[in-house]
C-alpha cells in the first residue's frame, strides 16, 4: 500500500505524461518491464496517446482523462514491499504458483459517491492485461466499486475481506476437500463488491451465505447499490474478456465472482503439476 503524497505525485506524473504526449513520446512511463512480459499474448495494450495532433484535438478534461488512465492503470511485477505483505498470508510458503507468474495491478476506481480511489490487486499474468482494460473501462464509465485491496490487508482472510465489501483476486488456496488449486489460488478469479454480491449454496438443508450479514442481498430482484446483474457493464466487460460469472451457476450462486473457464485454467494447473489430482 502506498501512503502519502500520491495525489501530488499523480498530478506531476499526469503533467509529465501530457508533455510526453505533446512531444510525441509514449504515454506509459509506469511499466517497468516490456509489455509482453507483463501481459499474456492475447491481452490488449492499454490506451495510448498516439500523436501530438490527437492530443491537441482533445479538450482539457479529455486529455487529463487519457493521461490519467495511462499513468494510473498498469501492471507490474510484484514489488518486494508487496510480496513481504503476501508471504504467509495470500502466498503461503508452499505456494506452487511462482511469484514471477503473478502481477500487481494499480487501478483507480470510484465509489458510490463518485470519489476516485486508488486500488491494488494481485492476479495471474494471463489476465493482467484484461483486468487493466476492464477496470479502466469501469472507472471511465463511473461504475461504482467500494474498495480494491489485496486480501493481505485482511490477513489473507477471505471472509473479512468480503465483509468489508472488498474487491480482490489472488488468494492461494486449494478447493475445500480436494488437492486442486482454486481459481483464486491461481489468480484467475475476481470477486467484486463482495458484501452486496454474496456467495450462497445449500448444504445439508441449510443455506450458507458468505459473507455473514449479507443475507438481504440474496434477493436479486431487489434494488440496492453495487449489485452485479446479467447485462450490466461489469458483467458485460468480464464476459467479453472470456470470464464466466458465478451468478449464473445452477446450484451454487456466487454473485461477486468472475473466473476464467476450466478449459483455460486446466493448462495452468498442468503447468503447476496440479492437473491430475482428483477432487
Ligand atoms: Zn470468488
In this structure, are residues 260 and 183 in contact, taking their beta carbons and an 8 Å threshold? yes
Calculate how far, in angstroms, residue 238's C-alpha sits from the geometric centre of ligand 1. 13
Calculate how far, in angstroms, residue 12's C-alpha sits from the geometric centre of ligand 1. 36
Count Cβ atoms within 10 A of the Cβ of residue 7 and give its class: 0-12 exposed, 13-18 middle, 19 or more buried.
exposed
Q: Which of the two residues, 244 and 49, has the higher pLDDT score?
A: 244
pLDDT tens-digit profile of 197-230?
Answer: 999 999 899 999 999 999 999 999 999 999 999 9
H-type alpha helices, 46-122 = 52-57, 60-72, 80-86
Please tell me the predicted confidence (pLDDT) of residue 268: 94
Calculate how far, in angstroms, residue 189's C-alpha sits from the geometric centre of ligand 1. 6
Enumerate the domain spans of the chain: 72-271
In this structure, are residues 143 and 151 in contact, taking their beta carbons and an 8 Å threshold? no
199, 197, 198, 171: which is closest to 186 by C-alpha? 171
In this structure, are residues 162 and 156 in contact, taking their beta carbons and an 8 Å threshold? no
Percent of the chain with pLDDT over 90: 69
Please tell me the predicted confidence (pLDDT) of residue 276: 56
Neighbours of 27 (CB within 10 A): 20
pLDDT tens-digit profile of 57-102?
Answer: 444 455 546 666 678 999 999 999 999 999 999 999 999 999 999 9
Q: What is the largest CA-CA distance in the chain?
A: 66
Kindly report whether the global pTM for this prediction surpasses the value 0.85: no
Residues with CB under 5 A from ligand 1 (ion): 189, 191, 257
Calculate how far, in angstroms, residue 160's C-alpha sits from the geometric centre of ligand 1. 14
Please tell me the predicted confidence (pLDDT) of residue 271: 92
Calculate how far, in angstroms, residue 211's C-alpha sits from the geometric centre of ligand 1. 12
Amino acid at each position: 500500500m502506498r501512503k502519502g503524497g500520491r495525489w501530488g505525485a499523480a498530478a506531476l506524473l499526469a503533467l509529465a505524461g501530457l508533455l510526453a504526449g505533446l512531444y510525441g513520446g509514449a504515454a506509459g512511463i509506469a511499466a517497468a518491464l516490456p509489455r509482453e512480459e507483463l501481459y499474456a499474448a492475447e491481452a490488449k495494450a492499454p490506451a495510448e496517446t498516439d500523436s501530438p495532433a490527437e492530443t491537441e484535438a482533445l479538450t482539457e478534461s479529455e486529455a487529463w482523462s487519457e493521461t490519467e488512465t495511462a499513468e494510473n492503470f498498469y501492471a507490474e511485477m510484484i514489488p518486494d514491499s508487496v510480496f513481504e505483505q503476501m508471504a504467509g498470508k495470500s502466498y503461503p510458503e508452499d505456494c506452487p504458483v511462482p511469484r514471477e507468474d503473478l502481477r500487481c495491478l494499480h487501478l483507480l476506481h470510484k465509489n458510490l459517491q463518485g470519489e476516485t480511489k486508488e486500488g491494488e490487486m494481485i492476479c495471474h499474468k494471463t489476465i493482467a492485461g484484461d483486468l487493466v482494460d476492464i477496470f479502466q473501462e469501469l472507472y471511465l464509465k463511473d461504475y461504482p466499486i467500494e474498495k480494491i485491496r489485496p486480501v493481505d490487508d485482511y490477513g489473507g482472510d477471505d471472509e473479512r475481506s468480503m465483509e468489508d465489501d472488498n474487491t480482490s483476486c489472488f488468494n492461494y488456496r486449494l478447493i475445500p476437500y480436494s488437492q486442486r488449486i482454486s481459481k483464486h489460488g491461481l489468480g484467475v478469479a475476481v470477486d467484486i463488491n463482495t458484501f452486496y454480491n454474496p456467495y450462497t449454496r445449500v448444504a445439508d438443508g441449510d443455506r450458507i451465505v458468505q459473507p455473514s450479514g449479507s443475507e438481504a442481498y440474496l434477493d436479486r430482484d431487489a434494488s440496492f447499490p453495487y449489485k452485479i446483474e446479467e447485462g450490466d457493464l461489469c458483467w458485460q466487460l468480464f464476459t467479453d474478456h472470456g470470464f464466466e460469472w458465478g451468478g449464473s451457476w445452477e446450484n451454487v450462486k456466487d454473485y461477486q465472482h468472475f473466473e476464467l473457464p476450466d478449459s483455460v485454467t486446466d493448462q495452468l494447473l498442468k503447468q503447476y503439476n496440479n492437473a491430475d489430482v482428483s477432487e
